[in-house]
Structure 1
Amino acid sequence: MSDNRKLTTASGIPYYHHEDTQSVGPRGPLLLQDFILHEKMAHFNRERIPERIVHAKGSGAYGTFTVTNDITRYSRAKVFSEVGKQTGIFHRMSTVGGEKGSADSERDPRGFALKFYTEDGNWDLVGNNTPIFFIKDPKKFSDFIHTQKRDPYTNLKSATMVWDFFGLNPESLHQVMFLMSDRGTPYGFRHMHGYGSHTYSMVNSNNERVYVKFHFKTQQGIRNLNGEQADQLRTDPDYAQRDLLTAIDNGNFPRWTMNIQVMTVEQSKAHPFNPFDLTKTWSQKDYPLIEVGTIELNENPQNYFAEVEQAAFAPAHVVDGIGYSPDKMLQGRILSYPDAQRYRLGGNYEQIPVNRCPFMVSNYQRDGQMRVDGNGGKGPNYFPNSFDDIKPDASYIAPPEILDSNIADWYDRNGEGENDHYTQPGIFFREVLGDEDKKHLISNIVGAMSGIDGPKRDLIVNRQLCHFFRADIQLGMAIAQGLGINLADVMPQERHA
């Protein structure tokens, strides 16, 4: 077989744009016609049964969201309609890359997914315990997750795969820094912050739109494990699940404060970098946190499989007053998350009690596997019809959005300004981490990169070191020395301290 094989679709059609999704302008929404994205994600969603491909191991609980501050000037969503209002929630927290039997102390991001049972339908806010992610285009998602799973030859976890991908995708550096710090090994689920991660939008009663990011600050206080402590806790692989379950059973209900950052549409256009880039944060100095409310977990599920394993979240599920943004990763997940749930749980997964909207649901969806709600009885299964009184409500008409371009392309051909992958990781290292945290970060990176092996080892190690140098010279030097690397071999030509 020739080594010069062309990249093709499953049907054998050669194509070029494997990592960039066609969009309306460099910051615009993605196009449905880019079927490569759909093929990649649809196939990826079907690679494992019945375990979740990502976020396989997790814990969940019921609780309440209580509004503590008026934000109706930003959003007309009924969930925020008045101070003191309470809404039922289901919250699932998880590791990301490991299988169901993996240890809770693995170095891994933690999923942070919330389902709000609002009178306007279920709102799913799906994020992580970090405000950023490894990639900014959804076409890369399946490739990224493959590197976090098992090598197809050895069936073992592979540091070589992991760091090869990171080095070839410098946009991952910001999240890699978070992951390799002690934030990558939180002490259970109760002592970590949560984030919506993506940029969303809010619309108020005057149809005025703003962009927002969601932050959830733990009221239990931050606790992380260092590398040695995390390794020791692998002997108790379910400690985080036990900790959450026991705390709630004992009446020690964990709480988080919900905050938002707000950016106007005009500010987003003038922002120095793409504000919809999931690998970057918004400065809290420029866009301070605004308190919204409190979430409290106060009821454990009665059956883990029925309520936690079958819980299904999708960022596509937003309610009136909350909307999407041109965040490319969000746009990709609008498609892939519901597709994953339909594959894993069936086309009627939203009838499973934990996913069911507790208020009126009226539509013309019928049949399919595991239909359990009467299937519409003898009523009509089409619209419009002359027999029922179900009508669209004009008060829910969404305001139009103005697109910033009418040019459809796969990437910004002149977008060097979009590709600053080093400034924010450098700030994280110099200004956010304390001296002890920096030592742990360097130690964790050295330990992880020491596992790189094979004939491409030097190439992969040196490539990644160049990224660390560009983020911060002292960071790069410390890691290189820890790996026993000659600094003259890896010092980059251009340094971005």
Structure 2
Amino acid sequence: MSTNNKHLTTSFGAPVADNQNSMTAGSRGPTLIQDVHLLEKLAHFNRERVPERVVHAKGAGAHGYFEVTNDLTAYTKADFLSAVGKQTPVFVRFSTVAGELGSADTVRDPRGFAVKFYTDEGNYDLVGNNTPVFFIRDAIKFPDFIHTQKRHPQTHLKNPNAVWDFWSLSPESLHQVTILMSDRGIPATFRHMHGFGSHTFKWVNGEGKAVWVKYHFKTEQGVKNLDVALAAKLAGENPDYHTEDLFHAIEKGDYPAWKLCVQIMPEEDANTYRFDPFDVTKVWSQKDYPLIEVGRMVLNSNPTNYFAEVEQATFSPGSFVPGVEASPDKMLQGRLFAYSDAHRYRVGANHSTIPINRPKAEVNNYQRDGAMRSDDNGGASVYYEPNSYGGPKEAPQHQVKPFEVSGEANSVAYDHDDHYTQAGDLYRLMDDGEKSRLIDNIVAAMKPVDREDIKQRQIEHWRQADETLGQRIAEGLGLA
């Protein structure tokens, strides 16, 4: 039998004499305000929840490592990719997108796939989804899109009218909606799905030569999806099914793994490719740019505390390392700001000093103060720059590779507006069973829409992608 000699203390270390009874004036009270232990407990309890994420609120995470298996130093000078066999610690968070913190895991929704690499040159965050494309391609539409996935301001219920009204007026969403309504819309577990960086990024090598790159994490467990009826049953009986599955798989040593591959496009091809390579609603053909193996990611350790690690983990597509840079992808450009700004609001200005987010590389800058500063705040060192006291200086050798821009400053759309070819190609690649389930899922999702013009507008998009697909959806909805 173990003996515990530890005393219960206040948050400042003073021993607590009684944790069962509050201090009162006599046996019936009232309670005395001098009971500082009671006040501290209640005040802390009132503040135990940070605001949940606006999107990707419900999620699970795990620690692991990434190991390089192929030499790609011809394409990037990124240190964590510099040698075959090199290992880098990672933390990965999987999530649903639209639901609240307590929502079910097995809903039809994209899944977030965010990887934090703790490299020797700082943290690199690759923040993507389990789909290679997205619903929109300009960040200015993101707040409106997410509003449609949230609750009606009067009824506080999910609103199919808003969902399909927005999609029907945003034809660029068709490719992602087709994926969402397919079998892939409900993964069997977080372990049985692919992950994608989704956006186009830039790699730069040691000689300053750049290429465009897309990331693909291929699950080694195989892709598995959930039947609609089973997913609905699990949502009621075990809403934390995916979270539970990931935790127990790792706990028993069944470590999930993914092979990381990339597609590489020569810099000059961006001007001539048949789709705009920076449009996140489009994929690059793997016949044109085959997958090249980079390495292997393994998750082998569960968090010890969910809040400290999973809930407080902050990821930003703007967390780059030398050798990896942004592309002109308009959606990515907006995310470079929005993610870190969300973390400053939700977790605090010093979220990068929280252990789960703290890089293993040394941090040297002139940022000081702010709520919840959890390190030495720079101590007595110099706190401005430039200075003549030997403070850290910029490293011009890591300057971002310049790229050419042209045109007038204006609100400009992408040049290419073919939103139908890739969605139609995806449908035609499906076997008969997959096609039928896709149509059944679309029909079931659109039936609650109470405006026929919204349905007709969306059906016209499906018809332009594939005549038969549009016709079958119309028939399923009982529309001409």
TM, length-normalised to structure 2:
0.88
Contact 2:50 2:347 in 1 (8 A): no
1:115 to 2:109 alignment? no
1:470 aligns with 2:464: yes
Which of 331, 334, 342 is the matching residue for 2:333? 331
Provide the residue aligned with 1:491 in structure 2.
Answer: none
Aligned length: 431
State the alpha-carbon separation in 1 of the partners of residues 229 and 266 from structure 2. Answer: 44
Deviation at 1:485, TM superposition (A): 0.9
**Does the CA contact (< 8 Å) of 1:65 and 1:88 recur in 2?**
yes
Which residue number corresponds to residue 23 of structure 2?
A: none
Aligned to 2:441: 444
In 2, are the aligned partners of 1:227 and 1:440 still within 8 Å (CA)?
no
* C-alpha deviation, 1:226, in angstroms: 2.3
Measured against aligned partners, the alpha-carbon deviations of 1:85-109 in whole angstroms (never above 9, x if no partner) come to 0000000000000011111100000
Structure 1 residue identity aligned to 2:473:
I
Q: Are 2:311 and 1:309 equivalent residues in the alignment?
A: yes
SS in 2 for 1:106: coil
If you compute each CA radius of gyration, which structure gives the higher value, 1 or 2? 2
Correspondences of 1:227-242 after superposition (within 5 Å): 227-234=228-235, 235-242=237-244
1:273 alignment partner, SS class? coil
Matches within 5 A, 1:36-435: 50-234=51-235, 235-403=237-405, 405-412=406-413, 418-431=416-429, 433-435=430-432
Could you tell me how far apart the structure 1 residues matched to 2:275 and 2:463 are?
Answer: 21
CA distances 1:139-180 after superposition (whole Å, capped 9, x unpaired): 100000000010111100011110011101011000000000
In 2, distance between residues paired with 1:223 and 1:233?
16
Using the aligned pairs only, state the percent identity: 56
Quick check: 2:194–2:217 contact (8 Å CA) kept in 1? yes
**C-alpha separation between the residues in 2 aligned to 1:318 and 1:397?**
12
Amino acid at match of 1:485: L
Rounded Cα–Cα distance in structure 2 between residues aligned with 1:459 and 1:359: 56
> Structure 1 counterpart of 2:469, which letter?
L
Could you tell me how far 1:397 is from its partner in structure 2? Answer: 2.4
1:18 alignment partner in structure 2: none
- The root-mean-square deviation of aligned C-alpha atoms, in Å, is 1.1
Q: Secondary structure at the match of 2:191?
A: coil
Q: Is the Cα contact below 8 Å between 1:226 and 1:440 reproduced in 2?
A: no
Partners in 2 of 1:406 and 1:183 — Cα distance? 40
- Aligned-pair distance for 1:230? 1.4
Greater RCO, 1 or 2 (C-alpha within 8 Å, sep 6+): 1
Cα deviation for residue 272 of structure 1 reads 1.7
Q: Distance in 1 between matches of 2:231 and 2:479?
A: 27
Alignment partners' CA distance in 2, 1:143 and 1:274: 24
String of CA shifts for 1:465-490, please: whole Å, max 9, x gaps: 0001000011111111111112xxxx
| Aligned mates of 1:469, 1:316 — CA distance in 2 | 38
For 1:394 and 1:160, the matched residues in 2 are separated by: 52
Q: C-alpha deviations, 1:356-388, integer Å up to 9, x for none?
A: 001211000000000111111111110122223
Return the alpha-carbon distance in structure 2 between the equivalents of residues 79 and 434 of structure 1: 40
Q: Indicate conservation of the 8 Å contact 1:104/1:188, yes or no.
A: no
Q: State the one-letter code of the partner of 2:91.
A: F
Deviation at 1:294, TM superposition (A): 0.4
- Cα deviation for residue 56 of structure 1 reads 0.1
1:123 match: secondary structure: strand
Q: State the one-letter code of the partner of 1:205.
A: G
Long gaps (5+) in structure 1: 1-47, 487-497
State the Cα distance separating 1:389 from its structure 2 match.
4.4
1:310 deviates by 0.2
Partner of 1:19: none
Q: Unmatched 5+ residue regions in structure 2?
A: 1-48
C-alpha separation between the residues in 2 aligned to 1:472 and 1:449?
Answer: 18
Contact 2:261 2:291 in 1 (8 A): yes
Deviation at 1:123? Answer: 0.2
Letter paired with 2:421: T
Q: Which residue number in structure 2 is paired with residue 41 of structure 1? A: none
One-letter identity of the residue aligned with 1:422: Y
Secondary structure, counterpart of 2:298 in structure 1: strand
Deviation readout 1:376-423 (Å, 9 max, x if unpaired): 1111110122223422233322322122x13211114xx6x5111100
> Residues 331-380 of structure 1, C-alpha deviation per residue, up to 9 Å, x if partnerless?
00001000000000110000000000012110000000001111111111
Q: Name the aligned partner's letter for residue 342 of structure 1.
A: R
Contact 2:385 2:391 in 1 (8 A): no
Aligned AA (2:146): I
Matched to 2:416, the amino acid is E
Aligned partner letter, 2:374:
V
SS at structure 1 position matched to 2:123: strand
Query: If the length of structure 1 is used for normalisation, what is the TM-score?
Result: 0.85
Q: Distance in 2 between matches of 1:226 and 1:463?
A: 28
Three-state SS of the structure 1 residue aligned to 2:356 is helix
